[in-house]
Amino acid sequence: MVKASFKSILVLIWPFLFFSGTLFALPQKAPDFDLQSPQGKLSLNQLRGQVVLIFFGFTACPDVCPISLSTISRVFHQMEEEEQQKSKALFITLDPERDKVEMMQEYTGFFHSNIIGLTDTAETISEVAQSYGVNYQKKKLERSALGYVINHTADIYLVDSSGMLVKRYPHDVEPEVLVAKIRNLLVH
């Protein structure tokens, strides 16, 4: 009986082991938010009709964040102009203490114009991060000019043009995987 149960479970999950990216049980409505952008308040709902990538991080991040934003930048560089007009990326800070609107705009500008940096109060950022299942924690660095870093979940979230959260990818996903999925979503 236990073997049959294990086999049944294995049969059910086996196909998912070959997908790149984490599939949600079902596509679910992406949690909406209102955060500060260089152009004022921006909500996810304002981007309906576009495919959106979301990444949480911070500008003083020494490794994962710049790598992830470089990956997202490479995605946009591989896309046609028309495809770029139908897609955006949101970089949501987990360090609103340091990452003000101007800093976010300057930082995302190093990567691609389709990447919008978002910030807000610590409480609002915490609520948004929690709604996406993002874990983060400030860690003090005694012998560093930075003073602290933020340890955080490093996934890239994919939201389709109708506002459904369809996939979550690891930060080191190949850009070609994201390009293919975005193109697929743009035609459906």
Q: Tell me, what's the pLDDT at 96?
A: 97
Length of the chain: 188
pLDDT tens per residue across span 131-180 = 999 999 999 988 878 788 899 999 999 999 999 999 999 999 999 999 99
Q: Tell me, what's the pLDDT at 25?
A: 56
Return all residues near 79 (Cβ < 8 A) that are at least 6 apart. Answer: 87, 179, 182, 183
- Phi, psi (rounded to 5 degrees) for 118: -125, 140
Q: Tell me, what's the pLDDT at 16?
A: 36
Return all residues near 20 (Cβ < 8 A) that are at least 6 apart. Answer: 169, 173, 174, 177
Q: Decide: helix, strand or coil at residue 170.
A: strand
Q: Tell me, what's the pLDDT at 147?
A: 85
Q: Tell me, what's the pLDDT at 142?
A: 85
69 occurs within a structural domain: yes
**Number of domains into which the chain is organized:** 1
Identify the residue whose tokens are 């609103």: 96
Both tokens of residue 116? 């919008």
55 occurs within a structural domain: yes
CA distance 36 to 98: 14
pLDDT at 104 over 80: yes
118 occurs within a structural domain: yes
Strands (E), the chain: 22-29, 34-37, 40-43, 51-57, 87-93, 115-118, 136-140, 148-152, 155-159, 164-170
CA distance 114 to 83: 11
pLDDT tens per residue across span 7-56 = 443 333 333 333 334 444 558 999 999 999 999 999 999 999 999 999 99
Region for residue 147 given its phi and psi (left: phi exceeds 0; alpha: psi -120 to 50; beta: otherwise) = left
Both tokens of residue 109? 């500008």
9 occurs within a structural domain: no
4 occurs within a structural domain: no
95 occurs within a structural domain: yes
Full domain range(s) for residue 145: 20-187
> In CATH, what number is assigned to the domain containing residue 35?
3.40.30.10
